[in-house]
Amino acid sequence: MSTWAPARWRPPDPPPPPRGDRAPADGEAPAVEAALRPKQLDEFIGQERVREQLSLVLQAARQRGTAPDHVLLSGPPGLGKTTLSMIIAAELGAPIRITSGPAIQHAGDLAAILSSLTEGEVLFLDEIHRMSRPAEEMLYMAMEDFRVDVIVGKGPGATAIPLELPPFTLVGATTRAGLLPPPLRDRFGFTGHMEFYAPAELQRVVHRSAALLDVDIDPAGAAEIAGRSRGTPRIANRLLRRVRDYAQVRHDGLVTREIAAQALDVYEVDARGLDRLDRAVLDALLRLFGGGPVGLSTLAVAVGEESETVEEVAEPFLVREGLLARTPRGRIATAAAWQHLGLTPPVQLAGPRTVAQPGLFPEDPAV
């Protein structure tokens, strides 16, 4: 008669070593993004004006041997605000502490972070406009006087204990600079606004990332990916990885214009960079509501999405591309939207003065 015994535990096999200097697989997306980030200011592509201004601030601080002024970076997501904050720390040779505004809901949370900073350390605060109001008011004194007051106790017996902070540099990032209160915005010594990238700059980004990912790509293939990336390096890197997968599985690995176009068609990214949600919004606006005007909530129900998703994800790019307009009466489609979807626009959008309009008074000539 056999007796049962539990199986002995053994440690799992170690992962296979990486081949050469190839970047990690897409399953480790954060590691891939970190591998593609520039490490020095000279490696950062685009944003020429911000780079030049920031370089002067950092060089002057190094020559004086002091911490540079606090830095505020604003602009749409995906343009390199987090990367620039890491570059600032690297250029100063200082450690960096990374947190975000939504993570700081109480003044005590901010006091714990500030009290643990070392001299010259860089504190990166992402989405700084979403920080709570009590924490904002504590940050005012910390940025200006390098001091915070910690309240001990409650009621009449509460006392404020001043806590001196070592000099540090705060780097704030925000996608909505207008939501920052003026007292906080004015305490930043340098403010840089990030702009969308030109296609030529994005093509350089694609070539650099392709070299780091060991992807064979020709200039035409890089231009095709750059043209569908919405002027955003983060999207360009994401599309490059998807095109790499397609070229590896369906072809010999070389990325050409034709292969890039075929791959992006599979992933539902059209020639102007519109994805499935963008086209769904335009299609509903044109086919169901005749081009508008239509309210945001009605349009969101028509595409099966939340109003916030349509407003914050799809609309900014459609407005920037001139395909959609916001009016007091609702959202309306432009003539370019009809043309992009291959539909015939109404007469009033087909062109300027396509039909003669009668004058205001009988004696006025038609215009």
> Which residues are marked as active site?
81-82, 126, 175, 234
Burial 149-183 (b: 16+ CB within 10 A, else e): eeeeeeeeeeeeeeeebeebbbbbbbbebeebeee
Cα separations in angstroms, 155 against 109, 111, 151, 158, 161: 21, 20, 11, 6, 15
DSSP 233-252: HHHHHHHHHHHHHHHHHHSS
CB half-sphere exposure, 178, CA atoms < 13 A: 1
Name the token pair of 288: 């169901």
255 beta partners: 217
Question: Which CA distances in Å does 316 have to 131, 200, 309, 323?
Answer: 24, 22, 11, 10
Dist. CA 283–CA 293, nearest whole Å: 14
**How far is 204 from 36, CA to CA, in rounded Å?**
13
Number of residues in the chain: 367
Q: At 334, list the tokens.
A: 């432009």
Q: What is the distance, to the nearest Å, from the Cα of residue 54 to the centroid of all Cα atoms in its chain?
A: 20
- CA 214, 217, 219, 220 torsion: positive or negative? negative
Residue 122: CB partners within 8 Å, gap ≥ 6?
85, 88, 89, 92, 94, 95, 96, 97, 168, 169, 171
The values of phi and psi at residue 330, to 5°, are 140, -170
